[in-house]
Copies of this chain bind each other. A is one copy, B any other.
């Protein structure tokens, strides 16, 4: 049984807490946050504290917070000989304890939307073999996909994730705005969104690019540009069209 203290009460902390709480191999002995109010949702299920001086003894201290807060918290930790891990995609392995780790869930978390944690890939890294083993056990207790990834590789994944997740969601959001402003139900596009994502997991996205840009269908491109009223959306349309054509070896 791994004894775990979770530091943080945001989206990542909340989703991981619930997954670990269901696991038989992990005991979440405490949740910490400096803001006592944010601890309420956890206080019925485990001990909580808003004071770092009151942190319980545990095998792993998992800091689930924004990057700046992770650094702050790690430096204030009262233990220097315990495994202290963080969940950031962009921060390096810290050097705040004799045992340091990274426990990065490569997923997008929103409070409003349920996430199946068992399908999340966990990218782990540690300062020593034993700590890596503990983080692997921790990840295996809630997920099937565990990858040992260096800080450099993790930074690459985090950058690529911004393109395939955050920027992609923004394109969905633009599609939604175009539909809503023209009284077309965005729902009609749901099947297309799902299928486009599915295809990217069964084939190389570069090899299955479709649409007017890769076909060099100038008439459709011109028509789309004339339809776009928002200058930002027009600029994005032009830049992505050019980028598709360059990646696929076509000249504009």
Contact = CB atoms under 8 A, between A and B. Distances in A.
Given A108-B195, A191-B120, A212 B162 contact: yes
A160 interface: yes
Given A205-B172, A209-B170, A67 B164 contact: no
Majority secondary structure, A binding face: helix
A114 to B, nearest CB: 9
Contact of A159 (B153, B162, B178): B178
Given A166-B210, A195-B107, A219-B67, A157 B172 contact: no
Given A106-B191, A193-B200, A236-B240, A172 B179 contact: no
A163 to B, nearest CB: 4
A66 B217 contact: yes
Interface string A154-188: 01111111111111111111111111001111101
A213 B165 CA distance: 12
A161 B189 contact: yes
Interface of A: 66-68, 90, 106-110, 112-113, 115, 119-121, 123, 145, 147, 149, 152-153, 155-179, 182-186, 188-215, 217, 219-220, 223-224, 227-228, 232-233, 235-237, 239-240, 242-244, 246-247
- The 3 A-B residue pairs with the shortest CB-CB distance in the complex, in nearest-first order: A166-B211, A197-B197, A172-B205
